[in-house]
Amino acid sequence: MIAAAILGLCALQQAATAELQFVQAKVQKSRCIGLEGIAKAVQKRVTADAYAEVKRYWPDAHPYVEEACFRRGEILRSLGESGAARGCFEDVLEVAPDDSDFYIRSLLELGHLCRRAKQYDPSLSYYSLAAAHHKGSLSYQVRGQSWLAKLNLTLKEYETAIRAAKLWRKRALSSVEYIRASDVYLCALAESHEWEMAEKELKSLRNKMQKQSTAPSEEGKSVAKALDGLKAPRVIELMRQGGR
């Protein structure tokens, strides 16, 4: 299997069209299914190189080139090659139209890579760009907003986290997401020594979601689970006791 993958790498050539070039890369990707260990890593490398050929031979062929760069970035990230993956996502920003979802998704991926590398300033910048990128899908904009709130809370930038979480809550696309945004907001409030206000807001949240959380439906179960998983009550109690 490994030898076959290496032969596949050597056999990559320019296809007749950008679409066919892209299809060749997708075929290589499908061959990763069911593989493990070294064989899977080698096949992923073959796949990454196949996606690179799309940009090499068809640099202006949309939408294939931006997706190829993005998929290559995903694969290299999964192989632990964060620097190379970052380069791929940066390539997407250069080649993709700004109304392509791969554009805003690459902003998020770059934010994640910087965050994991503890490069927090650029991470926050990428998340801010994603949150404000109104040409992208709303769900990805909201995802950027959520990471702005969560990362600022982690960094103990409580006032910024409060503002970001309030906006995330306003933009939330579901009740569960509203609860998660509220949790970050409440934690930031409590951590900034506004635990009494956080306590009132927590009570308001539970009242607001009470009917939904007891509904005999899958959504009701999800809302109840989200409420049960709130971190804010513990943080509020710690702040009440002067534990932080």
Query: pLDDT tens digits for 160-177?
Result: 999 999 999 999 999 999
Percent of the chain with pLDDT over 70: 94
Handedness of CA 149, 150, 156, 158 (dihedral sign): positive
What separation, in Å, do the N-terminal and C-terminal C-alpha atoms of the chain show? 56
For residues 54-78, give the mean pLDDT.
Answer: 97
Task: Give the helix ranges, DSSP H, for 96-194.
Answer: 101-116, 120-131, 138-154, 158-171, 175-191
Domains (range + CATH), the chain: 1-7+33-136 (1.25.40.10), 157-244 (no CATH)
Contact in structure between 96 and 102 (CB atoms under 8 Å): yes
Helix then strand then coil, in percent of the chain rounded to 5, is 75, 0, 25
Contact in structure between 106 and 92 (CB atoms under 8 Å): yes
Q: Does the pTM of the predicted model rise above 0.85?
A: yes
**Is 70 exceeded by the pLDDT of residue 91?**
yes
Ranking 1-10, 29-38, 191-200, 205-214 by mean pLDDT, the lowest is 1-10
Q: Give the residue, 53 or 243, on which the prediction is more confident.
A: 53
Question: Mind listing the pLDDT tens digit for each residue in 216-231?
Answer: 999 999 999 999 999 9
**Is 90 exceeded by the pLDDT of residue 118?**
yes
Handedness of CA 19, 25, 31, 32 (dihedral sign): negative
For residues 207-219, give the mean pLDDT.
Answer: 93
Contact in structure between 52 and 64 (CB atoms under 8 Å): no
CA–CA separation, 55 and 64 (whole Å):
8
User: How many helices (H) does the chain have, and how many strands (E)?
Assistant: 13, 0
For residues 153-164, give the mean pLDDT.
Answer: 98
Q: How many angstroms separate the Cα of 47 from the Cα of each of 80, 123, 192?
A: 15, 28, 48
Q: What is the mean pLDDT of the chain?
A: 94
Q: How far is CA 178 from the centre of its chain?
A: 18
pLDDT for residue 219: 92
